[in-house]
A and B are shown apart, each in its own frame.
Chain A
Amino acid sequence: MAKHKVTMTINGKSVTAEVDSRLLLVHFIRENLDMTGTHIGCDTSSCGACTILIDGKSVKSCTYLTVRADGADITTIEGIAVEGTNHPLQKAFHDQHGLHCGFCTPGMIMRSIDLLKTNPNPTEKEIRWGISGNLCRCTGYNNIVKSVQQAAAEMAKEKEASV
């Protein structure tokens, strides 16, 4: 099987690698790049633990071939804030106790980033539907909803301040 040369930007850094056709993007990120914040929970694109952003859009990286990401701009949980700082969603999940075991958290946050980009001021229902591809077994979702609400408010404030 021929290898394919791929080049992509991951968290702002250019990465080039030779990969097999079948290498799933989640494994490329976890195994080849040693960034283990993106998790695997179900294998059937049901749970969302592997959610990352490709060109700003959330995707389940367990259902995406690495070769197809050639030329893509990829963001993972490790790349959403400068080290030592928090993205408003990271801060909000901490403030609102939006995580317990932490396993679904990176995917949940990556999905929420996309959600707030397309809908900066979502209702509770829109948040619940917006994260419906991401399973959490610990929190019962109440506090995840509150976390997204807090982040939405903070991001709106930030946006206002920057205008």
Chain B
Amino acid sequence: MIPANFNYHKATTLKEAIALSQELGEEAKYMSGGHSLLPMMKLRFATPEHIIDISKINGLSYIKEEGDLLKIGALTTQSELEHNDLLKKSYPIFGDAVWLTADPSVRNFGTIGGNIAHGDAANDQPALMLALRATIIAEGVDGKKSISIDDFFHGFYMTALEFGDILTEIQIPKTKKNSGGAYHKVERKVGDYATAGVAVHVELDDDGICQEIGIGLTNVSAVPMRLERGEEILRGKKITDDLIEQLGVIASEDCEPESDLRGSEAYKRSIVNTITKRMLNKALERARK
């Protein structure tokens, strides 16, 4: 399997990359880690005329807390997420997800920005972003823009990124006291795309009342999906076992899986039910620590 011919261009700054995209036109594609795009090119599902390599752009690889935000540079690799002390300590949901994403060699080069910008509901990071209520920062011809994660995913491989835009940073509200998140996906074997995955992030007040909750689902809909109805029944409430059961049912009802090699629609709905409950429990456990 060999990609069709294309022209390679290396950008070392954001400006240069954006200018290149304008110059080369719509047949140009950005490549960061290349672990989503290049396999598609090898299968000739994607045949871009130009590749603009953005992986060498300096200053887009970082994980830091600033003000009220956790900021992750788009070129931060999955391995860097996996081994980062701040994330391990305060945002363990990343560890849950990255550990299950592809395999260590792919994680060495696959980036968080690429995982999100690819717009694939089978990728793991979109569900996390939904649960964590991330804001996507992008830069394009008209300068910087920030996009709420709820406005980011438009369709199969389609996002709010416009022609020339580069996803540069992910901003996530800094973790608060009494908050916690968790992610799990059922996979047929290690490194597989999810049969179904669920990310939950919950914030409690001192009385254990749910102040905020985010639930994102992986690979059970055409577009990465927020479980809105589920969030609503929990927000402002003390989360009881009964509510957790209800949440599971809602999750199984609202997700939109299709039968395929990963299992029947009914099976996937049931899995979503189960994992949603388990991840809420795990998130609560972490929040209460």
- Taking Cβ atoms with an 8 Å cutoff, the residues of A that contact B are 1-2, 4, 20-22, 24, 43-46, 48, 51, 54, 57-60, 62-65, 67-68, 70, 111, 114-115, 118, 129-130, 132-134
Contacts and interface: CB of A to CB of B under 8 A. Distances in A.
B154 to A, nearest CB: 27
Interface string B72-83: 000000010001
Contacts of B38: 63-65
Contacts of A21: 5-8, 51
Nearest to A55: B108
Q: Interface on chain A toward B: helix, strand, loop, or mixed SS?
A: mixed
Interface in B260-278: none
A80 to B, nearest CB: 16
A68 B2 CA distance: 16
B86 interface: no
B141 interface: no
Nearest to A70: B10
A44 B1 contact: yes
| Residue from the set A48, A70, A114, A133 with the largest chain B CB neighbour count within 10 Å | A133
B3 interface: yes
Nearest to B43: A44
A48 B105 contact: yes
Contact of A114 (B7, B42, B106, B108): B108
Contacts of B3: 22, 24
A133 B42 contact: no
Given A21-B8, A21-B51, A129-B99, A59 B190 contact: no
Given A21-B7, A22-B5, A133-B191, A59 B34 contact: no
A129 B79 contact: no
B176 to A, nearest CB: 31
- Residue in B6, B79, B103 with the greatest tally of chain A CB atoms within 10 Å: B103
B104 A114 contact: yes
A64 B5 contact: no
A54 B105 CA distance: 10
Interface of B: 1-8, 10, 34-35, 38-39, 42-43, 51, 53, 55, 79, 83, 99, 102-106, 108-109, 190-191
B109 A59 contact: yes
A118 B103 CA distance: 15
Given A44-B1, A132-B190, A60 B7 contact: no
Contacts of A67: 8, 10, 53
Contacts of B106: 45, 60, 63, 133
Contacts of A65: 8, 34, 38, 51
A75 to B, nearest CB: 13
Nearest to B5: A1
A2 B5 CA distance: 10
B39 A24 contact: no
A43 B1 contact: yes
Contacts of B34: 63-65, 68
- Please list the 7 inter-chain residue pairs (A to B) with the smallest Cβ-Cβ separation, ordered nearest first: A133-B103, A21-B8, A43-B1, A57-B108, A58-B105, A132-B190, A67-B8
B45 to A, nearest CB: 12
Given A48-B103, A68-B55, A133-B103, 19 more contacts: A2-B7, A21-B51, A22-B3, A22-B6, A22-B8, A44-B39, A45-B35, A45-B106, A57-B79, A57-B109, A58-B108, A59-B105, A63-B38, A63-B106, A65-B51, A67-B8, A70-B10, A132-B104, A133-B191
A137 B13 CA distance: 44
B73 to A, nearest CB: 17
B83 to A, nearest CB: 7
